[in-house]
Amino acid sequence: MNLQLVSPFKICPYKCPFCMAKGIEENSFSDDFYFQNKKEYLSKLVKIVEENDIKTIVFTGSTEPTLFPKWIEDCSEILKEKCPAVKREIQTRNYTYSNSDFDVVAFSIYQKLKTFPLINNVINRYVFIYNKELTIDDIINIRKNNKEVQLTVKILVSSSWNTSNVNEWIKENKKVFSSKEIEILKENNVRYDEDCSIATGRYIIYRCDGNIYNSWSEKKKN
């Protein structure tokens, strides 16, 4: 089981057109337990890891998590001290990020890039959000030039918690793979994620309000 560790909230500067967090303000997930009571927030994090047999912690957010370096540092420090066996990943759209204190840095990519971010001494993962701007060749060519990076491709999915503009963009820009293309992805060691919103058996979520959720669509507690 993985834990999705959600950063405090702040409007994200990146404005990805498929961003599921655009509806966050309306859903009021912007109250930040970390800032209200850091000590309790961190001890609850450790308790969650211990009680749920968490193997990997994914630093993520309803915004860009690297906007909160002190939160990253505080969570990392306590995890390294109290739960040293747990792997730590971060999901980011910040291509200038260079923190090598993670096991995995996963860069989210939905447009063609001229140069790809690469951090030394960590596993670099490129997570492609597949849409009309990308082709399967864009992804396979990276594999040809770099055998070391991990490659994942995600299919866009409309969701009830998305704003109507986001769901409209997804409808217009979503691309799927044929079964032959899925085989090509497998042959090239590219992980294919058809619906990353399915949480059951994969992950639980420690949201910034200090509560645990079983899915991104679960209604706010309290």
Q: Which range in 13-21, 28-36, 78-86, 196-204 contacts ligand SF4 by CB under 6 A?
A: 13-21
Q: Tell me if residue 59 falls in helix, strand or coil.
A: strand
Q: Which range in 12-20, 111-119, 166-174, 189-197 contacts ligand SF4 by CB under 6 A?
A: 12-20
Using CB under 6 A as the binding rule, whether residue 66 contacts ligand SF4 is answered as no
Q: Which is nearer to ligand SF4, 19 or 208 (CB)?
A: 19
Using CB under 6 A as the binding rule, whether residue 93 contacts ligand SF4 is answered as yes
Q: List all residues 6 or more positions away from 180 whose beta carbon is below 8 Å from its beta carbon.
A: none
Q: Is the distance from CB of 213 to CB of 207 less than 8 angstroms? A: yes
Using CB under 6 A as the binding rule, whether residue 14 contacts ligand SF4 is answered as yes
Q: Which is nearer to ligand SF4, 97 or 177 (CB)?
A: 97
What number of chain residues touch ligand SF4 (CB under 6 A)? 9
Using CB under 6 A as the binding rule, whether residue 16 contacts ligand SF4 is answered as yes
Q: Which is nearer to ligand SF4, 86 or 156 (CB)?
A: 156
Q: How far is the CB of 23 from ligand SF4 (least distance, A)?
A: 11
Query: Applying CB under 6 A, which of residues 2, 4, 7, 63 lies at the interface with ligand SF4?
Result: 63
Using CB under 6 A as the binding rule, whether residue 35 contacts ligand SF4 is answered as no
Backbone torsion region of residue 138, taken as left when φ is above 0, otherwise alpha when ψ lies between -120 and 50, otherwise beta: alpha
Which amino acid is located at 99 in the chain?
N
Q: Which long-range contacts (CB under 8 A, 24 or more apart) does 185-189 make?
A: 185/136, 185/139, 185/140, 185/153, 188/139, 188/140, 188/143, 188/151, 189/143, 189/151
Q: Which is nearer to ligand SF4, 16 or 140 (CB)?
A: 16
CA distances from 147 to 91, 138, 143 (A): 20, 15, 6
Distance between CA 95 and CA 90 in Å, rounded?
Answer: 12
Using CB under 6 A as the binding rule, whether residue 21 contacts ligand SF4 is answered as yes
Token pair in block for residue 163: 């704003």
Q: How far is the CB of 183 from ligand SF4 (least distance, A)?
A: 29
Using CB under 6 A as the binding rule, whether residue 32 contacts ligand SF4 is answered as no
Q: How far is CA 3 from the centre of its chain?
A: 11
Q: Give residues in contact with ligand SF4 (CB under 6 A).
A: 12, 14-16, 19, 21, 63-64, 93
